[in-house]
Structure 1
Amino acid sequence: MNDSLPLEGIRVIELGTLIAGPFSGRLLADFGAEVIKVESPDKADPMRNWGKEKDGVHLWWPVQARNKKSITLNLRKKEGQDVLKELVKESDILIENFRPGTMEKWNLSYEELSEINPRLIMVRTSGYGQSGPYKDRAGFGSVGEAMGGLRYITGFPDRPPTRVGISIGDTLASLFSVIGSLTALHERSHSGKGQMVDTAIYEAVFSVMESMIPDYLLSGYIRERMGNILPGVAPSNIYLTKEGTFIVIGANSDGVFQRLTEAMGKPELANSQKFSSHIARAEHMKELDMLIEEWTKTLSAHEALEILDEKGVPSGLIYSVKDIVEDPHYKSREMIIHLEHPELGDFPMPGIVPKLSRTPGKVKHTGPEVQGKHNDDIYKGLLQYSEAKLEVLRANNII
């Protein structure tokens, strides 16, 4: 493995707060980009106070802020806007997730910034995108999940729509923003020019909605809430075990289904008219799920999964965080890493995805625990400001 990180030499300015913008910054920082997080001197990123708390430290912030630097800068004032423009001259990517029009109000539009640095890639993540009739609306991840179609199909048919247990709309948008920024970086290596990356949260959600559009427009089918099953796919469900826990089994292809019937001790089911084909199993899904659960309820989760694994049937326990922490595969893949936190000591957090064979990413630290921790590093070092100039900026509440 190479000790250098693949995005070393790329400087990123991270504006915005909470998840949709900052998660993009975290992902780029994991692979070596220098990410400079900009926070207002009088208003920190609310993420600093999110999540559970231990000894006065909120536990979400170190995960989101890892590997980043922090400076303070008041973008509502012209002096702060001028400082940002000087940073833009020295940077490759700018990430923001404000409501469209905010950067323009601050004289920091893409047109103005690209005149200063034609190579700049400006990554803009918002609820509805930078254009269209809804662009000025306030947009949170939850709203994007609803408009993108995810909320409508999540839950059980006899209950109202529910949410996924995480901020999936924000994180999906962040992932697409990172794809856009890396794509633009690659294109810049040929053209020498930057560009704007426009990611809408609702579009990021909509993009992963599989065949929903042709299903409706070509066959008139509207996918509804189906609980734990997939429409037309069987068996693919969760099943109760003897000790009251659930396991998930996916055995919808013919070959895998045959192996499942062997695991159940009922190989004759694979040849029965009701279950012998993909279409037949979908038509008799409820009956089939009942037969499978009759079998799983006679076994502990461990016993059932051991048998299914021996037969090559995709299956698994529905993990709680306790199961994740104790699982040897997570440990082997370094998916729970430990860093030294300045106040809490050992600090566990998720590892890096994806894993590169030659230049893997790395988490070097748990992020800036105070706003403006790297003001001197950036303002004195990168921008070569004198102490006298910094004193003026402080006196004017710019930093």
Structure 2
Amino acid sequence: MGPLSGVRVLELGSFIAGPFAGQLLADYGAEVIKIEPPRTGDPMRRWGITKDGESLWWPAIARNKKSVTVDLRGERGQRLVRDLVSNCDVVLENFRPGTMARWGLSYESLRAVNPGVVVVHVSGFGQTGPSAGHAGFGSVAEAVGGIRYTTGSPDDTPARSGISLGDSLAALFAVIGTLAALAERGRGGEGQEVDVAIYEAVFALMESMLADFHVGGVMRTRSGSVLPGVAPSNVYPTADDAEVVIAANADSVFTRLVEAMGRPELAADPRYATHQARGEAMAELDGLIADWTSTRKSGDLVGLLQEHGVPVGMINTAATILHDAHFAARDMILWRRNGNGTELPMNGIVPKFSRTPGEIDRTGPRLGADTDTVLTTLAGVDDAELATLRADGVI
């Protein structure tokens, strides 16, 4: 009974950007019906690290969803989807622009059967503009949107994060757009289109990059583990070969840090007394702090700095997160069994709701697990037609 209980979403598409948005909506209680190609399904079923032939990501990215197999490339399958749309609040798709229209599933055709439907498009470059028709995976959108140029070491080529950042950002904006459109529909009763471009989702995070260059004459670029002029805020070593991030660039926080270090005089030292001075002396200051942190074990160091009110955190890995008491206390590691019976941990639900918390009722379903039920209850298909559709490969 999450906050989106009663909202029905038809998810079309594959891989990450669209399906991750569908996962989040399902986390919040929406009924998410995932349409997959018969026989093959979403490639995410076999993507990444696998066990017993199933992706270890699939149980999470498809959790709480219903799987319905429909061949979208044929007229009969397209008619089934239009029939389903008449009973849905949201259609979420991440095909290349123009694909839905070629299949007779344009916004206009869907609106004709359901004027209140919200159609959410997720694509590399958006539904309009000179690049709209180009293929665009999240990695390319990260480059175009500007984040790759600012990621990594200044002495190396642009780096990427070890996750599908662009796709995930687009999914977040898709959820935001969906919720905003549903809120507006609640006032007027009419749906609309929501156009999410992955490169724009990336670009939205780029802060004052354009103004810094155009007005300030500064090209923001790769700076490794620091931000130029912001110190101390870096990664520091510990005596037990771990690493911690300490962020003490504000005057008051820096004072608390040097008190924890047993060097309170540094707060009044002209070389470090102001934000600007610390930025100019970044390398020297980071050296002083690293010399100190490297003499202490990570747990003791984190505890000491927390006692002094200094923002600090471990550089966590999967191994350390699995044993982190705070993650566990906030239900951020959820243990569930996949379709093969393997118990596995998955990321918890974000954010937390005080009255209508989300829940994981099921992990990613087997292909077509809900085809018959959904098509009979929402598209008016009887048993005889189901048999014919299955025999003809439509479902």
- For the aligned pair, the TM-score class normalised by the smaller chain equals over 0.9
Partner in structure 1 of residue 199 of structure 2? 202
Cα distance in 2 between the residues matched to 1:142 and 1:340? 31
**Structure 2 partner of 1:251:** 248
Question: Residue 395 of structure 1 corresponds to which residue in structure 2?
Answer: 391
Q: Which runs of 4+ in 1 moved over 3 A?
A: none
Give the distance between the partners of 1:46 and 1:54, measured in 2 at CA.
Answer: 15
Q: Structure 1 residue aligned with 2:285, among 283, 288, 291?
A: 288
How far apart, in 2, do the equivalents of 1:340 and 1:159 lie?
A: 42
TM-superposed CA distance for 1:344, in Å, is 2.0
Deviations 1:245-296 (A, max 9, x none): 2111000000000011111111111101110000110111111101111111
Alignment of 1:292-311 (within 5 A): 292-311=289-308
1:144–1:201 contact (8 Å) kept in structure 2: yes
SS at match of 1:295: helix
Confirm whether residue 330 of structure 1 aligns to residue 327 of structure 2. Answer: yes
CA deviations on 1:334-370 (whole Å, 9 max, x unpaired) are: 001122334224332111000011111111010212x
Give the match for residue 264 of structure 1. Answer: 261
Is 1:64 matched with 2:57? Answer: no
Tell me if 1:113 matches 2:125: no
- Residue by residue over 1:370-390, the C-alpha shift from the partner in whole angstroms, topping out at 9 and shown as x without a partner, is x11101111122223111111
What aligned pairs does 1:217-256 form with structure 2 within 5 A after superposition? 217-256=214-253
Q: So what's the TM-score if we normalise by structure 2? A: 0.98
Deviation of residue 244 (structure 1)? 2.2
Question: Helix, strand or coil for the counterpart of 1:36?
Answer: strand
Structure 1: how far apart are the matches of 2:17 and 2:337?
A: 26
Q: Is 1:341 aligned with 2:338?
A: yes
Q: Deviations over 1:196-242 (max 9, x none)?
A: 00000000000011111211121111111100001221100001112
Equivalent AA in structure 2 for residue 71 of structure 1: V
Paired AA for residue 229 in structure 2: G
**Which residue of the partner structure matches residue 176 of structure 1?**
173
Report matched runs for 1:123-142 at 5 Å: 123-142=120-139
The residue that corresponds to 2:40 in the other structure is: 43
Identity score, percent: 53
The aligned length equals 395
Q: Distance in 1 between matches of 2:318 and 2:388?
A: 49
Q: Does 1:384 align with 2:376?
A: no
Report if the CA contact (8 A) 2:46-2:53 is conserved.
Answer: no
> Which stretch of structure 1 is more off in the superposition, 337-346 or 152-161?
337-346
For the 8 Å contact 1:55–1:344, the answer to whether it is kept is no
Task: Name the aligned partner's letter for residue 74 of structure 2.
Answer: K
SS at match of 1:380: helix
Amino acid at match of 1:203: E
How many angstroms apart in 2 are the aligned matches of 1:257 and 1:264?
Answer: 10
* CA–CA distance in structure 2, aligned partners of residues 5 and 165 of structure 1: 31
Q: Is the 8 A contact 2:339 2:365 kept in 1?
A: no
User: For 2:119, what is the secondary structure of its paired residue?
Assistant: strand
CA distance in 1, matches of 2:55, 2:131: 35
**Pairing 1:213–2:206 present:** no
